[in-house]
Amino acid sequence: MIESKLPKVKTTIFATMSALAQQHRAINLGQGFPDFHCDPKLIEEVNRAMLANCNQYPPMPGIEPLRSAIAKKTYTLYGANYDVDHEITITAGATQAIMTSILTVVRPGDEVIVIEPAYDSYIPSIELAGGIPVLFSMSLHEGQFSIDWDLLSKQINKKTRLIIVNSPHNPTGVTLEKSDYEQLANLLRGTNILLISDEVYEHMVFDGKAHYSVASHPELAQRSFIISSFGKTYHVTGWKVGYVLAPKALTKEFRKIHQFNVFTVNTPMQYGLAAYMNDERKYTELSDFYQEKRDFFRNGLSESRFKLLPVQGTYFQCVDYSAISNESELEFASWLTSDIGVAAIPVSAFYQEQKQNHLIRFCFAKQKTTLERALERLIKI
């Protein structure tokens, strides 16, 4: 027998609900992945790279053409210059990027502020590094989540090493504005506290708004690991390819961990992505693509007894089911899957203490026919 390093960790809620959906042949609006194909042109670019024998180890930081394409995109969208050789690293997905960033800077006894509800990989990564998660809940007022920065400031002390922010935010769909980052910069000014900015949904911001990246804020960028995901952007979540932007000193330390964590990332996928990124429309038009799905799904749910929370970004819709049931979120999500045939994720799963707000999360990154079938069932409840 061994003593577990993560004694509190069980099978993730995403795996649990997907298994339940499969068992009951339910429509899976739980786990966040598309049920439609990626662009065949992207497959062609990867296949071309394979046939060109781009199948051996690439450089540890990632191939130069892909890092250059990321640098160009980051400058075009956010006006930020990142050095191709020393400030951009290709990773095996965003989750690896998050864990490696945490392992790079967090030491035993360091405190890391995690803003809940939060993606489930943050806290185990902190604990594996010997850090102490400090949990801070977003405010929820009349169905709107927000961060009270004055309250958050009270969590900061001499032990605080890192703060993790996520925008657009999973699961709530909230996006942080420039004013949020100004308040955060005020809190961190004069400290050695670092920042991880999880921006994997950066290209899914709705209603004519633009994503505000930490890369656009020079003061914060100098203390930040900024993380994004090609899987989310190009509908290829199973490829597990992402990247990290960070200033030279942080990148140097990040790569020390990265090289012994995964060393490097799938070679033909990198070449395929680099070629595909030459067409900027593939990511600049993504917000319109997902807004159409969001609006279709919300319009359908407006005929149901669910109360819709606002969605400013991501491909997730949170709903309040308190007009339907008083069950816990897990109980309701399980019933919805087994009896109604639509799988969702309880928002309480994004809290360590399983906070109950009568909220569940749907994923609308699905074909229109999938959403139509789900809506037919949901509006009958």
Predicted pLDDT at 282? 85
Distance CA 111, CA 67 (A): 32
Cis amide prior to 168 (ω within 30 degrees): yes
Q: At residue 154, does pLDDT exceed 80? A: yes
User: With contact defined as beta carbons under 8 Å apart, do 316 and 173 qualify?
Assistant: yes
User: What class is the 13-31+285-378 domain?
Assistant: alpha beta
pLDDT confidence bin for 33, thresholds 50/70/90? confident
User: With contact defined as beta carbons under 8 Å apart, do 207 and 177 qualify?
Assistant: no
User: With contact defined as beta carbons under 8 Å apart, do 361 and 13 qualify?
Assistant: no
Phi, psi of 240 (to 5 degrees): 55, 60
Predicted pLDDT at 11? 79
Predicted pLDDT at 355? 80
Residues of the chain with CATH 3.90.1150.10: 13-31+285-378
Of the listed ranges 4-18, 96-110, 151-165, the one predicted with least confidence = 4-18
Distance CA 255, CA 67 (A): 14
Strand partners, 302: none
- Please enumerate in sequence order all residues whose Cβ is within 8 A of that of 379, keeping only pairs 6 or more positions apart, or say none: 300, 301, 303, 304
Predicted pLDDT at 356? 86
Predicted pLDDT at 8? 85
Residues of the chain with CATH 3.40.640.10: 40-279
Distance CA 139, CA 228 (A): 26
% of the chain surpassing 70 pLDDT: 100
Predicted pLDDT at 14? 86
Of the listed ranges 60-64, 88-92, 142-146, the one predicted with least confidence = 142-146
Predicted pLDDT at 269? 98
pLDDT digits (tens, 9 = 90+) for 328-380: 999 999 999 999 999 999 999 999 987 889 999 999 999 999 999 999 999 99
pLDDT confidence bin for 9, thresholds 50/70/90? confident
Please give the order of strands across the beta sheet that includes 242-245: 88-91, 242-245, 224-229, 194-198, 160-166, 111-116, 132-137
Which of 239, 228, 232, 241 lies closest to 62 in space, CA to CA?
Answer: 241
Predicted pLDDT at 192? 97
DSSP labels, 212-280: --GGG-HHHHTTEEEEEEHHHHTT-GGG--EEEE--HHHHHHHHHHHHHHT-S--HHHHHHHHHHTTST
pLDDT digits (tens, 9 = 90+) for 315-328: 999 999 999 999 99
Distance CA 113, CA 301 (A): 35
Q: Which residue has the higher pLDDT, 17 or 371?
A: 371
Q: What is the mean pLDDT of the chain?
A: 96
- Please enumerate in sequence order all residues whose Cβ is within 8 A of that of 282, keeping only pairs 6 or more positions apart, or say none: 39, 233, 234, 276
By the 10 Å C-beta count (0-12 exposed, 13-18 middle, 19+ buried), 79 is classed as exposed
Calculate mean pLDDT across residues 61-73.
Answer: 98
Predicted pLDDT at 54? 97
User: What class is the 40-279 domain?
Assistant: alpha beta
Calculate mean pLDDT across residues 239-254.
Answer: 98
